[in-house]
Amino acid sequence: MMGEGGLLLCVLCLIPGVLLTCPSQCSCTGETVDCNGRELSIETLPIQFPLSTREIFLDNNQLASIPNGYFDSLKQVSGVFLSNNPWVCDCDILYLRSWLQKHQNRHLYKDVVCSSPNSMRGRVIMYLTEDEVLSTCQFWHCNVALVFQICLFIFISIQAILLIFIIVFLRRFEKLSKEANRTAKEIVQENDYVKILDDYQNSE
């Protein structure tokens, strides 16, 4: 008969995110989850870690940002290694910045720096001010607005060109119609004249 300890172990194995669950993208040893150098991006990040995790190695990947709330459930984590990633310090970096600032072991994150934009390249993420990050958001919105205005201008220009083409076509069609009507009238008048002339000649 299975003892209570064995039964509990089986139940734990069936519950997502417990001690024995290791992300397929990583390797796990004890309380350490090693995802170093796995070419991970924000789309391929593990969706969960073992609840016993104390250290996570996410360095040397392709991470540009971290999803909001990603580390919030990992209450026991003492360190996450995040260096050598192409961090993009725009609006999407706000969560990681906030999480780093709340973390006690700040010395672990002095090499977690921005790769872009150029104005922030090499800056330590946890030392960025909120205004600096928000300024990149505003710049991004300005770029979007500029692109939208250019597209709108092109669209209006195309509409204007089409309208001019239609107006020119209609005027030309009207002119051709008038010429056709005038020609038809001239032909009718000429036929009437010929008929009158023939009638006159026949009457003589």
d(CA 40, CA 47): 12
Q: CA angle at residue 45 from 63 to 106, to 5 degrees? A: 55
* Ranges 2-6, 40-44, 66-70, 124-128: which has the least confidence: 2-6
What is the tens place of the pLDDT at every residue in 104-116? 778 889 999 999 9
Enclosing domain of residue 168: 130-204
Alpha-carbon separation of residue 114 from 76, 86, 155, 198 (angstroms): 27, 7, 37, 100
Taking 80 as the threshold, does the pLDDT of residue 12 lie above it?
Answer: no
- Has residue 51 been placed in a domain? yes
Q: Are 38 and 63 in contact (CB under 8 A)?
A: no
Query: Residue 106 falls within a domain, yes or no?
Result: yes
Nearest one of 110, 106, 107 to 125, comparing CA atoms: 110
Name the residue with higher pLDDT: 187 or 122. 122
Please tell me the total count of domains within the chain.
2
Pair (87, 176) in one structural domain: no
Amino acid identity, residue 143? N
Report yes or no on 8 lying in a domain.
Answer: no
Q: Which residue has better confidence, 160 or 86?
A: 86
What is the predicted pLDDT for the residue at 144? 59
16-46 pLDDT tens trace: 444 558 999 999 999 999 999 999 999 999 9
Q: Is position 4 within any domain?
A: no
In a domain, 140, yes or no: yes
